[in-house]
Amino acid sequence: MREIQLQLNQTQKLRLQKVLETLQSQSSIPNSDSSVTISDSISVNHEDGVLKGHGTTDHNGDVVATLCGIVERVNKLVYVRTLRSRYKPEDGDIVIRRVVEVAQKCWRLDINCSQNAYLMLSAMNMPDGVQRRRTAVDELNMRRIFEEGDVICAEVRRSQHDDIHLQARSQKYGKLNAGQLLTVAPYLVKRQKQHFHHLEKFDVDLILGCNGFVWVGEHVEARDVMVEDPVNLSDPQVLIPNENSVSLEEQDKNYTALETRNYICRAANAVRVLSTLGFTITLESIKEVIDLSISANLDIHDMFGCEFCVLVAEKEAERRSSSKRKR
């Protein structure tokens, strides 16, 4: 559990302390050597040829941890995996971040990693939906697709020591509009099979980025458009929309209803509450917090109250206890 900084009264402190003790007992691991702190000895059962990996060192013949984390073993390799660290991208991760720079044939993004990531123009799904080679006209019009400051959702295509390349070859990726971008600790977002979610009850889209960024916005239908017979691709007018000619219907489509905006704010506050408590952010946990706030008849701004945070922690402890009994 992370350190919680809330202005709690004495009763709320006692309730939260009881909840934390319950969660700690439920998450205890039988093997006491699995979690270590700095200078703790790691038991290797006197094996021969043990390889000391990241976060370990040799001290008087013993393997000693130099980091706080979880001991991992791969064959004879022993290393310590830190719980709190900067995001380390892996192939296939869903990431969300803002564009830092529009470079030559690529966009540069800061994905909360030790180095920037690159989204190549060739790895981008074009707005016209045509599968073709990128031309010089496309390169000149890159800022009409993404510009500095735009929030983009993409997938890690290749992660190496030197470069991190992204791709956005589907309509579900790309620029995000009409929503909120939230920042949480990367370790709170676990890698899952599905990171794109649609809350049908509230008509809200939820994207959980592996790099610690969560997007909550208005629902947008993702459609893959394939054009077999494009019309005169060399004409710049086909690729460049007229920004000044915006019809009234398009303006109405860009408007987000007040009820939808309220649900977006409520879902965003649910993510903030889970992040404050240090709970893993999943679709189920976000739904539970939203339903709890609605059942308690709380306003959106009241979700940051100390009483509601304690109530969320108690509900999480009950859920884990019930799931443990079912096993």
92-113 pLDDT tens trace: 899 998 999 998 889 999 888 8
The verdict on 172 and 262 lying in the same domain is: no
Q: Do 204 and 263 form a contact (C-beta atoms < 8 A)?
A: yes
Is 174 within a domain? yes
Q: Which amino acid is at 25?
A: S
Total domains in the chain come to 3
The verdict on 153 and 196 lying in the same domain is: yes
pTM here is 0.78
Is 249 within a domain? no
What angle, rounded to 10 degrees, do the helices at 283-295 and 306-326 form? 130
Q: Under 8 Å CB-to-CB from 237, ≥6 apart: which residues? A: none
Is 137 within a domain? yes
Residue length, the chain? Answer: 327
CATH number of the domain bearing residue 205 = 2.40.50.140
The percentage of the chain sitting over the pLDDT mark of 90, rounded to a whole number, equals: 27
Q: Is the pLDDT of residue 47 over 50?
A: yes
The verdict on 144 and 221 lying in the same domain is: yes
The verdict on 180 and 130 lying in the same domain is: yes
- Domain's final residue, options 191, 220, 242: 242
- Domain's final residue, options 208, 242, 276: 242
The verdict on 37 and 24 lying in the same domain is: no
Q: Is the pLDDT of residue 207 over 90?
A: yes
Dump pLDDT digits (tens) for 51-91: 888 888 888 888 888 888 888 888 888 888 887 778 888 88
The verdict on 100 and 209 lying in the same domain is: yes
Is 68 within a domain? yes
Is 302 within a domain? yes
The verdict on 264 and 150 lying in the same domain is: no
The verdict on 142 and 193 lying in the same domain is: yes
Residue 316 CB neighbour total at 10 angstroms: 20
- Domain's final residue, options 195, 219, 242: 242
Is 283 within a domain? yes
Q: Do 125 and 167 form a contact (C-beta atoms < 8 A)?
A: no
The verdict on 18 and 98 lying in the same domain is: no
Helix (H) or strand (E) holding 16: helix 10-26
What angle, rounded to 10 degrees, do the helices at 283-295 and 258-277 form? 110
Is 250 within a domain? no
The verdict on 106 and 51 lying in the same domain is: no
Q: Provide the domain limits for residue 56.
A: 31-85
The verdict on 71 and 145 lying in the same domain is: no
Looking at residue 9, its pLDDT comes to 84
The verdict on 77 and 96 lying in the same domain is: no
Q: How confident is the model at residue 222 (pLDDT cuts 50, 70, 90)?
A: low
Is 248 within a domain? no
